[in-house]
Structure 1
């Protein structure tokens, strides 16, 4: 093997997403932004989706480009059908494909929202996003849905009252997306749920700790470790590259608290 071929092979291993398009919903901050930068470092063209803060999204795009990736910044409110339709139309026109779809955007603890906002965002919007993405997905594409242990196990393990509407709606979203696994599999499209505990540095964890002072410290004592935004983003990156796990679920951190095992 020539030195040039060896160098190319090494480069391919270091940049396995070169030439690939990754769309991350809600990627102008937090976990989504951190994941965007990690995928950019692997060579991906990352679609940075934001709802209203375009300058913040552009800053994420600059970071993606700085580590060797490329970026496209596209506005899109996942709860607004016209807005999210325009998002995927723009991606289709500009890039023509989606190799990795990361359904990261979520919420439900915001003030002054409709009573069913959590369900609109965490279930209905997730299903709509996947439906709109499907024409751009292809054999070898991967869909990743981000959730929490508190949501994933909500039917068997109670959670904080303030988080319960979010947990229930995210579990409803997970169930609705899982129903699509057979049809995705027929097209050779992988699907994986990445579930983690409270993530230090996220808005949700910060709000819960503000409402229940000390809850993050208490949670750390219960499970041994809470992941940071950056550490959890690394797990999402790995879920993009690794074989699909059993039951299409990648658990980040200890889950014995929820399973009793």
Structure 2
């Protein structure tokens, strides 16, 4: 019964391969699977669950990831560190990719690949039937091949060290997207909050050049309050857009609703 119809798909990866932009919603607040349906209805291609900046439990993250897969919304998890054991647990719980914070060198990027991919590219342990594949009892070789094909790695560039090594990071096999985190990068460069500062634009351009050289995707993050700057980066060649998180969306909508009565 194993056929193309049953093969694990990553719709976001397919859209990127066609050269289309994709839009992601960050989840920090909502712990229930309803957020997957909300992201689907709102037209997002992906969510990423931010376990770096929240108290999100692993079981809730796994449930949301599984709900996303059923809707064709690609689920990623932003891990709190580059710890290999935690990366593996997140993927075994149902994520289709890792957002790796503050990648500062090619060695960091290779460590994430080793944790997220099975041999020969990585060292991820074989967990058996996978939730992403509805626990279909396939041969181990087939399961790991499908998981590795669908699983993506997003390396965040958010420090001067990471920016200095951006070409070497982009060259690492297994890395799919380089996501410039404008909030942390602007802070580390000495002008916190100035996410549209000329030096941030320069960082995006340097990262875009590295992506083009190594056939990777440029990601835009931390610019939810600067839509025109986002559009400029999309016109230059960015494809993956992290639009903002559920907390900011809720506050903005609630504030707008309250102000209707002023």
TM-score bin (small chain): 0.3 to 0.5
